[in-house]
Structure 1
Amino acid sequence: MASPIQPGSGLGSGLNISSIVTALVDADKAAKQGQIDRGTTSNTASISGIGTLKSLMAAFNKTLTDLGSTTNSQFLGYAATTSSASVLGATASNTAVNGNYVVNVKNLATASKVTSAAFSGGSTSAIMAGTLSIKQGTSTYNLDIKAGATLQSVRDSINADASLKSAGVSANIVTDSFGSRLVLGSTTTGKGSDISVSGIPELAIDGSKVVGTDSSPMAATSAGAIGALAIDANITIDGMALTSKSNTVDKAVSGLTLSLVATGTSTVTVASNNDGLKTSIQKFVDAYNALANGITSLTKATLDSDGNPTVAAALTGDALPRSILSAIRGPLSETGAGDKLTVLAQLGITTDQKTGALNFDSTKFTAAMNDKKLGGEVQKMFVGDAGSDNGLLKRMQKALSPFSDAGGVLDQRTTSLNKTKTKLTNDQAALDRRVETLTSVLTKKYNDMDTLVGKLKATASNITSMFDAMTAQQKG
């Protein structure tokens, strides 16, 4: 705000009006300005502190979510490796046992792909109205094809059908030297999954008939399975033969899932996953300590050489951070859902009584894995039973949800602080307006006083001059 006070002394009085007005205005606003400044400093620090707290909790919650993934488990007690990843992949669950298995993939399971006869008119060829029936295995899907349909619109209708989409059936148009064909494929593999189409004669496909081979070369009227029928996968495990409709084989070896990639032979080795478990546990410990130490830094004041607090932290004296620390510490002391593994101390995880951070003793962890054979229960302790919230990670997220959820305690605190910030801004604007008004009023009053003093001085000077003139005449 530009000051209306002009520097210099009053012409009439000789007083420094600018300094007088400034001193009076400063004295008037000092108390309120100090209150606003202190409130702004505290409010800014609190907003920054709550923002940092939100970031810390978001990072911690993300780590808990990643570690608790049910599709990419981070706490498997056993690890499976293959000698040839180009042939197959392998994943061991907590029910696996140590061992080696020689797997020979003779052929992969394949899916059905069928074609209609060719349409010389291309994708815009007219298709008669009717009910198109698509059969796969024991399931039949009916589509109502309306008058005016084309080969392209039939394809679009198939791809838009929710039932076919969920069954993994899709359609496209492929054009060869004979014309355009409706080609249907499926993600379902295995013998008996061949697709057949009926109901509209020109789109009829006998899925049990193979076309496009040396014995049955492709012609304009060719309609059927392209190249071969769908078949099961054929493999041997340590010489024992088995078939699978899927290229994911999860019931051949207890606790082991095989993902078939190509024909060939590969050795699968199943062993304790100590390194993987240790890495996942360390991630949990590091994430917990980052949150706990971050909260401590937001609340702990800077101390001088005598140990006395000098500079307050952003949230010093605030009860909210202590409430969050208490919430995340609660689940640590609760008994887990496992049978033999029930508390974190069995894995070498303990709480530092001075700092509140977690310590991870790798020696105790190794003993728990090798001597006590607890590796298979680590996942149950951290993730819990399938479909339940009894794992440590879920219990921690549940404890933190009142603070971190949308509309929770942190959001409410942020809203409150922003309202206070707005009020402080308005208070400052009001004070600035008052200062401007007061400055203008005082300046006018002192300028008026200065003008009056100037006039009185001029009058006094005139009277003095008159008396001086009269005195001179008398002497003359």
Structure 2
Amino acid sequence: MASPILPGSGLGSGLDIGSIVKALVDSDKAAKQTQIDKQTKTNTLKISGVGSLKSALTAFQTALTNLGSTTNPAFAGFTATSGTTSILTATSDNTAVAGTYNVVVNNLATSSKVASAAFAGGAASAIPSGTLKISQNGTVYDVAIPANATLQSTRDAINSAQGANGISANIVTDSTGASRLVISSNKTGAGSDLKVSGIPGLVIDGTQPMGTNPAAGASGAVDGIAKDASLTIDGLAVTSKSNTVTGAISGLTLNLASVSPGTPPAAATVTVASNTSGLQTSIQSFVDSYNTLMNTINSLTKATADSEGRLTVSAAFTGDSMPRALISDIRSVLTAPGAGGPLAVLSQIGVMTNEKTGNLAFDSTAFNKAMSTNGMSGQVKQLFSGTDTTNGLLARMGKAITPYLQTGGLLDQRNTNLQIVGKNLSTQQSALDLRVENMTKTLTAKYNAMDLLVGQMKATASNITSFFAALNAQKSSN
């Protein structure tokens, strides 16, 4: 009796050719596929780890930059506050001294603004060609005026040529239609008056005021000539070329906003005090940022147990030397002496390293005790911000992580190498898939050929059996 033909079996042999081929192919594929899968999983984990570490370092770098801001300093040793901010505001540095100061602003520093004689033809008035010379503080600025120039094109030429020098021009037209060229400077203080020469009709002496009702042919300074700021500090007279007054009070910068009102004028009180609470907040912010970075690094390097608590599951950088080098670079900054002075290391203000976790801990009680020493607030600023742009703790910490974060740095290089590994694994997978496909085709063809041969042999055997059965039947009938 012929063998029954089962689902998926060969028509001739009755064997499950598909299952046989699959088993043989899977057996040949298994070792290489396992290797590729394992390496791909590890490589993907490392790529993700590089991204996580770079994000954590970028966040830490941003925190360092914000804490080290010069426009909004987080480690100002002193705070200077003005009792009347409409008159002036004040900022301090670490050389300031606690105290109060009464400041009266008599007048603000002004810049030079000059106007030409009036041109009846308005902005389209013709201007002779030549070289317009604008002088200020002994410096002469040349502006080329081409042929067929107008008052408007002359204005544009001045703005284009001298905008970078703080000189600008515009046109003011009165109710009669007559126009004047008005030239301004952003430099303030006595002696900064503008003088214009070189072009007929545009000669202006900025040391001479035009007055309140200038005649059409008059030219000169608008609203008076440039002058210095005048103020008194605790009754002592002070002048300044600008409205930003530095050096008058050691460690303080006064930003003048308006003249003191009243008769006699009311003083604005500036108070300078140690910035203890602000420094404590900033130090805590630094500690928190540091610990967040360390926690991320630890999570990327520490192996963990599986769900059954037995097998060890590696993290992205388990056993990798780069995170250890990074931690070493960062911690070396913490232990190195500061920019000089009695405050040299963080432990003096209550910042200690936890021996078990490696994180920082901030003892506010120890900090407040340290801050009771005179001048310590300025020393805290010096420790973190330094005496220049390179020797403060924040700057040195930023320098330590730069090789890892910078474009083309260590993390970028590591990511590039991992991407190459990923492409190689993808190539290996494609090659393995092609091998499996070809092997499947080859084995299927061979087993189908065998099945055909078995089917032919079975047919021959069946014919022989039928022949002899017929002979036996014929003999029996005889």
Q: Deviations over 1:97-141 (max 9, x none)?
A: 111112122221111122223444444443221111101232221
Measured after TM superposition, the shift of residue 212 of structure 1 is 6.2
Give matches, 1:361-440, under 5 Å: 361-371=363-373, 373-387=375-389, 389-440=390-441
* Counterpart Cα distance in 2 of 1:307 and 1:87: 69
Structure 2, gaps ≥5 residues long = 1-6, 261-266
The aligned residue for residue 157 of structure 1 is 157
Matched to 2:356, the amino acid is K
**Which secondary structure does the structure 1 equivalent of 2:248 belong to?**
strand
Structure 1, gaps ≥5 residues long = 1-6
* Counterpart Cα distance in 1 of 2:464 and 2:218: 132
Measured after TM superposition, the shift of residue 358 of structure 1 is 0.7
**Which secondary structure does the structure 1 equivalent of 2:312 belong to?**
strand
* Counterpart Cα distance in 2 of 1:176 and 1:101: 46
Measured after TM superposition, the shift of residue 419 of structure 1 is 0.3
1:103–1:237 Cα contact (<8 Å) kept? yes
Give matches, 1:74-223, under 5 Å: 74-161=74-161, 164-177=162-175, 178-211=177-210, 213=212, 216-217=213-214, 220-223=216-219
The aligned residue for residue 263 of structure 1 is 259
Does structure 1 residue 237 correspond to structure 2 residue 237? no
* Counterpart Cα distance in 2 of 1:234 and 1:16: 105
Q: Deviations over 1:174-200 (max 9, x none)?
A: 333324432211111122222121100
Matched to 2:30, the amino acid is A
* Counterpart Cα distance in 2 of 1:373 and 1:150: 63
Check 1:120–1:28 CA distance in 2 against 1; reply closer, same or farther (3 A cut).
farther
Does structure 1 residue 250 correspond to structure 2 residue 246? yes
**Aligned-pair RMSD on alpha carbons?**
2.2
1:87–1:260 Cα contact (<8 Å) kept? yes
Give the number of equivalent residue pairs: 465
Q: Deviations over 1:334-365 (max 9, x none)?
A: 11122211111111111111111111111111
Check 1:220–1:282 CA distance in 2 against 1; reply closer, same or farther (3 A cut).
same
Q: Deviations over 1:137-165 (max 9, x none)?
A: 3222122222233333322332233xx34
**Deviation larger for 7-16 or 41-50:** 7-16
Measured after TM superposition, the shift of residue 21 of structure 1 is 0.7
**Which secondary structure does the structure 2 equivalent of 1:252 belong to?**
coil
Check 1:454–1:125 CA distance in 2 against 1; reply closer, same or farther (3 A cut).
farther
Check 1:249–1:309 CA distance in 2 against 1; reply closer, same or farther (3 A cut).
farther
**Which secondary structure does the structure 2 equivalent of 1:181 belong to?**
strand
2:94–2:382 Cα contact (<8 Å) kept? no
Measured after TM superposition, the shift of residue 201 of structure 1 is 1.0
Check 1:125–1:363 CA distance in 2 against 1; reply closer, same or farther (3 A cut).
same
**Which secondary structure does the structure 1 equivalent of 2:126 belong to?**
coil
1:197–1:206 Cα contact (<8 Å) kept? yes
Matched to 1:167, the amino acid is N
TM-score (norm: length of structure 2): 0.92
1:301–1:309 Cα contact (<8 Å) kept? no
**Which secondary structure does the structure 2 equivalent of 1:341 belong to?**
coil
Measured after TM superposition, the shift of residue 47 of structure 1 is 0.4
* Counterpart Cα distance in 1 of 2:37 and 2:283: 47
Does structure 1 residue 473 correspond to structure 2 residue 471? no
Check 1:201–1:36 CA distance in 2 against 1; reply closer, same or farther (3 A cut).
same
Measured after TM superposition, the shift of residue 420 of structure 1 is 0.2
Matched to 1:200, the amino acid is I
* Counterpart Cα distance in 1 of 2:407 and 2:331: 22
Matched to 2:327, the amino acid is L
* Counterpart Cα distance in 1 of 2:20 and 2:308: 45
1:114–1:224 Cα contact (<8 Å) kept? yes
